[in-house]
Amino acid sequence: MCARSGANCGSLFLDLRFRELVRTLLTDHPAHLDAASLAYFMHSFCETEKIMYRGEEQDSASNSVVLGPPSIDTVPFCPGFMFNFTCFNVEDPDDPRVGLFNGELSIPGNLLRREVFDPVVNQVPYLFLLCFAHAFSSWEHPVLHVLNLRCQCRHLGS
């Protein structure tokens, strides 16, 4: 057990980053940013896409790299794995620059990974090491505690 770090790490922060990505992509399409549409995007992400996400395996085929925050000019819409989210306002015209196609918002896998998953997931190993270092710093003889834990684990496994 460790004290809270205050870091933005966990499922809730994936949701918040996804919501921000959708708002950024649809800045010029406010018809899709109403409360009902955002709630549906969030529901679809939380209940399906986030759970089924497999990481780099779902990057776009070109694995293109875009530096900086997503915008109309930097979203790499190319052949490859796309995450599709149904839009409520189908009368808003298609805009391939932001991924609006046939009543859906399509987000490339590499963009979703880079803007939503990587920033949160990449904090986990660091926080684990920080927690582990904090725990060791409070022990008088950390090596003896590690050996004792190894013995206990070995005993439990037999």
pTM: 0.67
Of 15, 65, 17, 45, give the one whose Cα is nearest residue 105: 45
pLDDT digits (tens, 9 = 90+) for 87-130: 988 788 889 888 998 889 999 888 999 999 998 888 877 777 77
